[in-house]
Structure 1
Amino acid sequence: MATTEAQIERVRELVAAIPPGRVATYGDIAAAANLSTPRTVGWIMRTDSADLPWHRVLRADGRPAPHLAGRQLSRLAAEGCPIVDDRVDLSRARFDFDCGRNELNSG
């Protein structure tokens, strides 16, 4: 099944909503966007994320992709993201899209 423009825009909105110092996994974004697989998020991020905080999206184990590791971890560290052994501590840094949405809507 082809990825729709609406799905691409939804993923872009979700990635843009991740605040500095926080992260989300490809799976988190897929679930929030009602996509069937995190791979779709990966494809969208590879093709349409130059203007997004791409560095805030990680693999399920909290590690960046090997080819981006240095740059990505450096950017996350500068934002105050907790990093241990080249891995983001997801228990402390994972962004909850539902809570984030509620905070945005309540202000």
Structure 2
Amino acid sequence: MRNEYVQAVLAVVRLVPAGSAVSYGDVAELLGSGGPRQVGSVMSHHGGAVPWWRILKASGHAPEGHEAEALLLYLEEDTPLVGDYRSYLRTGEGRWRVDLTAARWAPTDSDFDVIDAIAEELERRLHRMSVPDDGMAL
């Protein structure tokens, strides 16, 4: 995974406010680059320093293996949830997920300005890396 893509994904993730969430595919769509699997790979390998719990599968399920920690963060941030998360807290049993319809982040115009700048910089850097020294595209 190119470092430029990693940095762009992490920059978008940092913009997602507390109590909100987006899917891996949403992040890719906002960047205009990659897809859910690429974003998931970035988050898996590099997401520890950003609010990783706000980036989910399209189903609204927390990142695998991090459900318990994520649930506490969702509750702390008042993220909308559906399912039996109370039982999960007590016993570790129970199915729940983030209500992605209610929690989905709706970027403001200023957020879109920042996202557009991130996406344009990513495109510029990736394009520059694909052009040989003689100026001809690969």
**Normalising TM by the smaller chain, what interval?**
0.7 to 0.9
4+ runs deviating over 3 angstroms: 97-100
Structure 1 residues 93 and 13, CA gap change in structure 2 (3 angstroms):
same
User: Which residue identity does 2:52 align to in structure 1?
Assistant: W
**Which of the residues 22, 25, 40 maps onto 1:24?**
22
RMSD (CA atoms):
1.9
Counterpart contact for 2:53–2:63, Cα < 8 Å: no
Give yes or no for the alignment of 1:89 onto 2:99. yes
State which of 63, 66, 73 in structure 1 corresponds to 2:61: 63
Aligned-partner residue type, residue 93 of structure 1? A
Which of 3, 11, 20 is residue 13 of structure 1 equivalent to?
A: 11
Residue 27 of structure 1: CA displacement? 0.6
- 5+ residue gaps, structure 2: 84-95, 115-138
Structure 1 residue 67: deviation in Å? 1.2
| 8 Å contact from structure 1 (residues 22, 95) kept in 2 | yes
Q: 2:23 and 2:74 mapped to 1: Cα distance?
A: 14
Q: Once the two structures are superposed, what CA deviation does each residue of 1:67-91 show, in whole Å capped at 9, x if it has no partner?
A: 1111112111110001111111112
Shift of 1:4: 2.3
Please list every run of 5 or more consecutive structure 1 residues that lacks an aligned counterpart in the other structure. none
Q: Decide whether the 8 Å contact of 1:32 with 1:97 is kept in 2.
A: no
CA distance in 1, matches of 2:4, 2:34: 15
Q: Structure 2 length as normaliser, TM-score?
A: 0.67
CA–CA distance in 1 between the matches of 2:79 and 2:7?
26
Which residue of 81, 85, 101 maps to 2:111? 101
Identity %: 28
Distance 1:43 1:92, change over 3 A: same
- Which residue of structure 2 lines up, in the alignment, with residue 38 of structure 1? 36
Quote the Cα distance in structure 1 between the aligned partners of 2:97 and 2:7: 28
1:72 to 46, 67, 70: 70
